[in-house]
Structure 1
Amino acid sequence: MRVRPVSPDVLVEELTDVIDARPHGRWLRVAIDGAPPTGPHDLADALVTPLRVRGRPVQRVRADDFLRPASLRLERGRTDPDAFYEDWLDVRGLTREVLDPLGDAGTGRILPTLWDTAMDRATRAGYVSVPEGGILLLSGALLLGTGLPLDLVVHLSTSPAALARRTADADRWTLPAYARYADEVDPALLADVVVRVDDPRHPALVAEA
């Protein structure tokens, strides 16, 4: 294994190359997976314009908009790391409303948001159509090992110490969930591209020797 340091701008450029060159069917479903301090949403947002410049339609979706209702999500309490790991993401809803419609047999019509966690109700968003050849950029945490049908996964990796250091005090209860994710899923092994972001100002691409 070799690790190649790059600047944030070069990282976006190289990931754009990887995504644009990826063989795909009618659509390409890309996930940027990482704990919040690694910046999966920011990286996905940064990829939108470069891909569109290359003529690729892009649809952004955040996994945070596909969490389960509070009655289910918080059934074991508001700070239970096992519930956070197992129960928070609405895998079925995300698959049904976003990922399956962008499979080869899909319609291309997706629901970009499903659940407003602040209001604890459906977002009432309208469906949008993704043109064929379009790219879905899904960002969020704990996405692998859930059975989500994805075509390309970028995992943002960080050491446990760095993650603990960069996690806000109010969110430190989630750290055992990320430790469990690393042990049980090993996302760095499953992902197509791994980026180390112990320091987000100095990312590094990981490649097998």
Structure 2
Amino acid sequence: MAAQHPGHPLRVGIDGVCGAGKTTFARELRDAVETAGRPAVHVDSDGFHHVRARRYRQGRTSARGYYEDAYDFDGLVARVLEPLGPGGSREYATRIHDLRSDEVVTGETARCPVDAVVLFDATFLQRDGLRACWDEVIYLQSDEAAATARGIARDGLPAEAYATRYLAACRLYLAEQRPAERASIVVEHTDPAAPRITVRRR
């Protein structure tokens, strides 16, 4: 990451199923990039959800609803990925939604150094219409049982409720988009303390 200089901030997506350890990995990667001498920015995916009415319009337990409606990826593209891409202004939104209050946020922006590595972690980052906006995608490969156990512990949900909405949504994503096959880097991440690159395509 630190060796790449595309002429604009390097846009890196950290992908993986729920509970794969994406946020922890992104923070560790940010620190490693900074240690290597490059500025690094971690954009928090919690600031890029749809409003609650949109998130639950297909029902609070709907897997398809979580897959299609959880994140405002159009907003992410327009407000972050395009401004940070070739010819962009480098002025990006740090968030567009407040998850706690469910309010749309406008005007919270920052200017990104041209040589920065920008990290964004979320599930479903390689859906159609989004893949072309990343310069690199790191897919965290995790055993389903291990990832599910971490997700349940993190979210405090009953196992059945978690499986019905979140695990089922991840299975839809895996079947429809084959993210591990499309990512530029695949990291074995069943044990977050021992990440290991297994595929490097660029």
The TM tier, using the shorter chain, reads 0.7 to 0.9
Q: Please, which of 172, 181, 186 is the counterpart of residue 163 of structure 2?
A: 172
TM, length-normalised to structure 1 = 0.83
* Displacement after TM superposition at 1:61 (Å): 0.7
CA contact (8 A) 2:55 2:69 kept: yes
Q: Which runs of no fewer than 5 residues in structure 1 stay unpaired?
A: 1-18
- Secondary structure at 2:171 match in 1: helix
Please give the per-residue CA displacement for 1:44-103, whole angstroms capped at 9, x wherever unaligned. Answer: 111222222333222211223111111111111112100111111111100111100001
Find 1:184's aligned residue among 176, 182, 191. Answer: 176
Counterpart of 1:143? 125
Q: Tell me how far apart the structure 1 counterparts of residues 151 and 76 of structure 2 sit (CA, whole Å).
A: 26
Report SS of the residue matched to 2:115.
Answer: coil
Task: Give how far 1:153 is off.
Answer: 0.5
Q: Which residue of 2 aligns with 1:152?
A: 136
Alpha-carbon RMSD across the aligned residues, in angstroms, is 2.0
1:43 aligns with 2:34: no
1:55 to 33, 37, 40: 37
Mapped to 2, the partners of 1:38 and 1:136 lie a distance apart of 20
Identity %: 31
Aligned residues: 191
Distance in 1 (CA, whole Å) between partners of 2:106 and 2:144 is 38
Unaligned runs of 5+ in 2: 153-158
Task: Show the counterpart of 1:114.
Answer: 96
In 1, are the aligned partners of 2:187 and 2:199 still within 8 Å (CA)? Answer: no
